[in-house]
Amino acid sequence: MTGRLIVLSNRIPTAGPPSGGLVVAIDELLAERGGLWIGSGDDFVDTPSESLQPIQGGSGYNKAIFDLTEQEHKEFYLGYANSVLWPLCHHRPDLIAFDRRYAESYATVNARVAKMLAEIIAPDDLIWVHDYHFLPLAQELKRLGVSARVGLFLHIPFPTLPDLNALPEREQFYQWLAAFDLVGLQTEADVACCLQCFRAQETGEMLFDGRLKFQDQTFAVRSFPIGIDAKSFFSIAEKPLKDDPLHLRKEDRLILGVDRLDYSKGLTHRVRGFGKWLEKRGAKSPRGTLVQITPPSRELVAAYQDIARELEALVGHFNGRYGELDWTPIRLLEHAVPRETLAPLYRLADIGLVTPLADGMNLVAKEYIAAQDPDDPGVLILSRAAGAAEQMTDALLVNPHDSEEIGDAIERALSMSCDERKARHKALMQVVRDTDIFEWGAGYLDCLERLEIASAGPFDEQGRFCRKSERKSDPTMGEVCRDQSLDHGNPQKIG
């Protein structure tokens, strides 16, 4: 058993009890094993402190924040993280903001956070870094002589090799990642992409034990598909909404979209797809109303500023064209709604429409499934470009760029028999339950802790790390993946 768990994420819940799947999971993991959660504070300062500042709020563990200046918020967070790395990883190199000050600020903030961390890390601590805001952190810690194990989990897609070539700091990008002991990615497709990028480098090679070597660093890359707290989501969804906020007719159908306002979420393509369905809808078809709940995000980033206008124009166009005196086909809400409203809305919806153009996982797809009534479930229409599509193959999978295909999927979902809906939901619910947020957190940490023992095995034949629930005990090989045996496959000993 290793020492303390130290979690670093850009955001940290600073007030009140934790809410939201990821935050709850990290809170529970830390409460169970003790440790420290570090993130940036809510207020900007003129001169950032050189040490971490403890804050109240962790039950059974500690919390601390680091400062950012307003300039750093602009250049490190809105700049390098969200105007360079975010578009890079979401296949939009055309949207990358090429401003060298962003890279400088990113390096400065990461170096400062690493220095503050280095002062408090003990050699047997486990450091778990979240997301693209802190890619250089392990390299900085190593420079400072920290020997503790450091893992990264990237919540967004891994960039493709051609896209990575658009990054001015591409050389550093490889060094940043290789300095971690474990790079956790959402999907097997992301792992394949990461391996391809490293193997294309002169000094990149794959070792026999499945780890990667780059220059003088050796590290592991594995997929850990993130999940939700399915049980709690189901129980919130079961509580019906007070009064009927939608006022739809009994025979009307509800189609629901829930996403941050982001170009990666495919919102205009989605509305065009719904427009195709409206266009083809027969005179006797039921009315379908699309409720799209879309709170703004990163409004100060240039690439985000036109999306709302474009979306509003499209919604106005289709409502004008297909609406009737007593029916507005698309309702657009540009603000968040509380979870207590969102979960029962998912349950009411005949279709969950989740069509991002690129997405690390997409938790809305999993929340929609968890919220359904198993005896009369709705249908999930899911983009093939969402990480979730790798696991949720019983959804109606669509090409998010093709509005015709989205329109046809809506028609198919609305006419699907109850038996087919139930069978698809059952299979999807199994996936959501088996890979929930707690399994994800425990699986990642288990892998990070076991790295020295036979390179973090066991892995299945696709190179995916097997979680505790997926393993069996083999008399000669120790713990192996359940679907492997000595006769077929290549189990790796871990203990």
CB closer to ligand ADQ out of 114 and 386 = 386
Judged by beta carbon, residue 90 or residue 425, the one nearer ligand ADQ is 90
Task: Let me know: does 80 contact 176? Beta carbons within 8 Å.
Answer: no
Of 125 and 190, CB closest to ligand ADQ: 190
CB atoms within 10 A of CB 253: 19
**Strands (DSSP E) found in 82-211:** 126-130, 149-153, 182-185, 204-206
Q: Which is nearer to ligand ADQ, 259 or 460 (CB)?
A: 259
Residue written as tokens 């804050």? 55
152 forms part of the interface with ligand ADQ (CB under 6 A): no
Region binding ligand ADQ by CB under 6 A among candidate stretches 1-9, 55-63, 305-313, 334-342: 334-342
Residue ranges in 201-230 that form contacts with ligand ADQ under rule CB under 6 A: 226
- What's the rounded Cα separation, in Å, for the pair 465 and 188? 10
Lay out the site mask for ligand ADQ across 174-203 (x = CB under 6 A, - = otherwise): ------------------------------
259 interacts with ligand ADQ by CB under 6 A: yes
Return left, alpha or beta for 34; rule: phi > 0 is left, psi -120 to 50 is alpha, else beta: left
Of 293, 294, 288, 295, residue with least CA distance to 255: 288
Asked if residue 156 binds ligand ADQ (CB under 6 A), the reply is yes
Q: How far is the CB of 297 from ligand ADQ (least distance, A)?
A: 8
Angle at 192 between CA 188 and CA 198, to 5 degrees: 140
User: Helix, strand, or coil here: 254?
Assistant: strand
Instruction: State how far the Cα of 495 lies from the Cα of 50, in Å rounded to an integer.
Output: 42
**Residues between 270 and 309 with contacts to ligand ADQ, criterion CB under 6 A:** 293, 295
23 binds ligand ADQ (CB under 6 A): no
Phi, psi (rounded to 5 degrees) for 389: -65, -20
Q: How far is the CB of 492 from ligand ADQ (least distance, A)?
A: 27
For the bound state, the minimum distance from the C-beta of residue 358 to ligand ADQ, rounded and expressed in Å, comes to 9
Longest dimension (CA), the chain: 73
Instruction: Please identify, using beta-carbon distances, which residue of 105 and 362 lies nearer to ligand ADQ.
Output: 362
Please identify, using beta-carbon distances, which residue of 146 and 354 lies nearer to ligand ADQ.
Answer: 354
Binding to ligand ADQ, residues 338-367 (CB under 6 A): 342, 359-364, 367
- Interactions with ligand ADQ, residue window 51-110 (CB under 6 A): none
Alpha-carbon distance 457 to 461, whole Å? 11
337 binds ligand ADQ (CB under 6 A): yes
Min dist. Cβ of residue 308 to ligand ADQ (A) = 13
Residue 336 engages ligand ADQ in binding (rule: CB under 6 A): yes
Which residue, 214 or 304, has its beta carbon nearer to ligand ADQ? 304
Smaller CB distance to ligand ADQ: residue 163 or 259? 259
> How far is the C-alpha of 200 from the C-alpha of 429, rounded, in Å?
39
Helices (H), 182-248: 188-199, 230-238
Q: Closest separation between CB of residue 138 and ligand ADQ, Å?
A: 20
Q: How far is CA 206 from CA 62, 150, 211, 315, in A?
A: 38, 20, 6, 49
Strand partners, 126: 5, 149
Closest CB 266 distance from ligand ADQ, rounded Å: 12
Catalytic residue among 359, 394, 436, 460: 359
Q: How many CB atoms lie within 10 A of CB 406?
A: 27
* Residue burial 51-69, b: 16+ Cβ < 10 Å; e: rest: ebeebebbeebbbbbbbbb
363-402 footprint of ligand ADQ as x/- string (CB under 6 A):
xx--x-----------------------------------
Answer yes or no whether residue 484 interacts with ligand ADQ by CB under 6 A: no
Considering the complex, what minimum distance in angstroms separates the CB of residue 226 from ligand ADQ?
4
Catalytic residue among 90, 133, 155, 425: 155
Task: Pick the binder of ligand ADQ from 4, 133, 149, 155 (CB under 6 A).
Answer: 155
Q: How many residues bind ligand ADQ (CB under 6 A)?
A: 18
**Torsion angle of the four alpha carbons 321, 324, 330, 334, in this order, in degrees rounded to the nearest 10:** 100
CB atoms within 10 A of CB 450: 18
Stretch of residues binding ligand ADQ (CB under 6 A), selected from 34-42, 101-109, 258-266, 299-307? 258-266
For residue 262, the minimal CB distance to ligand ADQ (Å) is 7
Residue 359 annotated in active site: yes
CB of 364 to ligand ADQ, least distance (A): 4
State the burial class of residue 156 (Cβ atoms within 10 Å of its Cβ: 0-12, 13-18, 19+): buried
Retrieve residue 442's tokens: 């425990």
The first and second tokens of residue 2, run together, are 């290793």
Query: Looking at beta carbons only, is 111 or 336 nearer to ligand ADQ?
Result: 336
Residues contributing to the site for ligand ADQ (CB under 6 A): 155-156, 226, 258-260, 293, 295, 336-337, 342, 359-364, 367
Residues with catalytic annotation?
155, 359
